[in-house]
Structure 1
Amino acid sequence: MATSATMADYSEEMNSITMDYSDYTYFCDKTEVQKIFRKLQLCIYSIVFIVGLMGNSLVLGTYIYHKKLKVMTDVYLLNLAVADILFLFTLPFSAASSQAGWVFGKFMCRIVKLLYKMNLYSGFLFLMCISVDRYFVIVRAALAHRLRSKRLRYSRHITLIVWLFSTLLSLPEFIYAKVENSSESICWVIYPDSMKTWMRVATPILQMLLGFFLPLLVMIFCYSVIIKTLLQARNFEKHKAIKVILLVVLIFIVFQAPYTILTILSTVTKLRVGGVPCPESNRRDIAMEVTTCLAYTRCCLNPILYVFVGVKFRNNLLSLLRQCSSPANSSRRASVVNTVTTSTFTV
């Protein structure tokens, strides 16, 4: 009888408890959200891949046609195009996985994650290098003139350092990327349980500090001083010369910053006990998907910007297209073009 009474009391107690499953993401129904994601990803990724590959290939083709780079800024902008092309080659894998899950294996999962992060960090670091170069050319013109013969050689060494540093910052993505099988295979970065919680949070935050926010602070300082110098000089030609670079930096920040900030917030919320409520989880998924598409779109905007704003690049591109359509006079045109000593990409 005692046992029977105890079981009855336990049953009554359990029936009186109302379980709130809304706080557990396991019970979230994300079917509709995933359908929207699949359509959006396939459309955006395909457009970015085609437009970005064509545009950045034209940038590389223009460089090859003109034989050599003239200034440090050209070296950095060219490497920016190379970084974008490397990333664009990963988009077909991402587009295919958005429709049928990740079917390309663990190694390609790691390569795709590595190349995206390398594109992100190298892009911002090269823009930082451009801002420092423009600072010396405009603000410290006398020093830049004295080092004129060495600056282009320095740029090649700096370029190698940027690529190595970007690879180092991206290594956690390569090391910890894995393919997880649930309803369908997913390629993502998962830190092992053996890693301490603070390290799992500190690693992506440190990546963003060194690869995003530090270059951003350097650029803000350099361009603030540059703009102040130009306003004091009242030199319209110098205003035109900096216009393309400022627009490239602005586009990079506007399109990349939302994704970066959401990534940091997502990392921090992993510390929350009990997970994220279902409605909030859905909102975050949507926000992350939209900002990811924005970040990917950035890779095809720079060449468009060069064409519509950069007069010299537009003229050089037209020369390249004329060479392709009429190769008979290409040697004469190339000899004329190679006498130009100004920047290929800027105004």
Structure 2
Amino acid sequence: MDDSEPNSTTLDYGDYYDSTADYSPCNNSNVRDFGKVFLPTLYTLVFITGFIGNGLVAFVLMKNHNLTNLTDICLLNLSIADLLFVISLPFLAHYAAAAEWVFGDFLCRFVTSIFTLGFYNSTFIMVVMTLDRYVVIVHAHTLAHHRTLRVGMALTVFVWLLSMCISLPYMIFTQVRNDSSVLRCDYYTDSQGWKDFNILAMNIFGLLLPLLIMVACYSRIICTLVGMRSTKRHRSIKLIIIIVVIFFLFWAPYNITLFLTFLQSGKLLGNYCQREEAISFSIQVTETIAFTHCCLNPIIYAFVGQKFMRRVQRLLRNWFPCCSLLSSRDMSESSARSSVMSRPSDVTSTVVL
């Protein structure tokens, strides 16, 4: 298989099982059997939880009809990007289980496009939210007044265009081919540079650059919050640490394994069947862990916010009138506690959404 180079979208599950060596292939039947059960199961769970969580966030925000600040615009775009991402998972689950693509060339390109577009856009939106918090907290008196609706819309358009540009090679080169009487949906190109682009783009734009921005911005934010007198200061700092740590723990193992795959495909690690099998197992496990991050985004960025939770409570009261009394009592108690505690500053409120 000369064209079956591993790619960051992992659409070609044949790459998990077939050797890239020039001589007798390794016996990867254990990897094949494991992937046929593990990948569809985890993909299905991620799809269900991610679709429900992000769908609820998008519905609540669009139902509100007054996206007047950058935070709400980012939350809506983050949920839409994650929805695009998870919509592709049922197709990938079937592909992993059947080890063959049966949905045709158009859906092959379409699924790959929304997969990569959703992934990169979700990551870039998190970066925009990080920069927004940095501006509001660290430069509250100099740059915060630039957080207008027009700026929010412009940033949104820029992020989607940037995501489309990075995803464009996937849209162009992904196609269905007959490989040993088995239909594969994969990234096919004769250019080694475009093959390497997959892994380099995933590592640079999907992990390294966002992580560096998060660490740099949130470090300054924490330093600023430490000097503030706010009842929500400690909660804000904990939330910041959680955001960075979760992003790193969920995506770093996958990106490291992808880089090892890149080295293995270039025969820089040697041709050892044991090593190849270990990398194939690692790709499957770390990939699924990374994909579950989209399920956590609604919890981290939306449901921890008091403003968003009030919208959810109002929506639930409209759907389930029998629960309106209980919801009203909870909101009254929450308001009473808020009135007893000192009023948080706008800066800290921005951090906890």
TM-score by length of 1: 0.79
Aligned to 1:201: 196
Q: Are residue 167 (structure 1) and residue 157 (structure 2) matched? A: no
Residues 50-59 or 117-126, more deviating: 117-126
Structure 2 portions without partners, runs of 5+ = 1-18, 329-345
Mapping for residues 53-202 of structure 1, pairs under 5 Å: 53-100=51-98, 101-147=100-146, 151-180=148-177, 181-182=179-180, 184-190=182-188, 192-193=189-190, 195=191, 197-198=192-193, 200-202=195-197
What's the % identity of the aligned pairs?
Answer: 35
Instruction: Deviation per CA, 1:29-82: give whole Å up to 9, x if none.
Output: 222221111111121111111111111111012112322224312211221110
Aligned residues: 312
Tell me which of 37, 40, 61 is aligned to 1:39: 37
Instruction: Deviation per CA, 1:288-337: give whole Å up to 9, x if none.
Output: 0001111221121222345763333333212211111239x9xxx9xxxx
Q: Aligned in 2, Cα 1:135/1:25: closer, same or farther, shift over 3 Å? A: farther
Structure 2 counterpart of 1:153, which letter? R
For the residue of structure 2 that corresponds to 1:27, the secondary structure is coil
- The 2-side partners of 1:145 and 1:85 are apart by 30
Aligned to 1:296: 291
- The 2-side partners of 1:79 and 1:25 are apart by 48
Aligned to 1:15: none
Q: Is the 8 A contact 1:25 1:277 kept in 2?
A: no
Aligned to 1:17: none
- The 1-side partners of 2:91 and 2:20 are apart by 34
- The 1-side partners of 2:250 and 2:181 are apart by 32
More helix by share: 1
For the residue of structure 2 that corresponds to 1:185, the secondary structure is strand
For the residue of structure 2 that corresponds to 1:142, the secondary structure is coil
Structure 2 counterpart of 1:32, which letter? N
Aligned to 1:227: 222
Q: Aligned in 2, Cα 1:72/1:324: closer, same or farther, shift over 3 Å? A: same
Q: Aligned in 2, Cα 1:255/1:183: closer, same or farther, shift over 3 Å? A: farther
How far residue 188 of structure 1 moved from its aligned partner, in angstroms, is 2.2
Aligned to 2:6: none
Aligned to 1:11: none
Aligned to 2:8: none
Q: Is the 8 A contact 1:313 1:344 kept in 2?
A: no
- The 2-side partners of 1:114 and 1:275 are apart by 33
Q: Aligned in 2, Cα 1:123/1:326: closer, same or farther, shift over 3 Å? A: same
Q: Is the 8 A contact 2:250 2:293 kept in 1?
A: yes
Tell me: higher relative CO, structure 1 or 2? Use CA pairs within 8 A at least 6 residues apart.
1
Tell me which of 247, 267, 274 is aligned to 1:279: 274
How far residue 206 of structure 1 moved from its aligned partner, in angstroms, is 4.4
Q: Aligned in 2, Cα 1:146/1:30: closer, same or farther, shift over 3 Å? A: closer
- The 2-side partners of 1:310 and 1:242 are apart by 14
TM-score by length of 2: 0.78
- The 2-side partners of 1:110 and 1:263 are apart by 22
Structure 1 portions without partners, runs of 5+ = 1-20, 334-341
Q: Greater Rg, structure 1 or structure 2?
A: 1
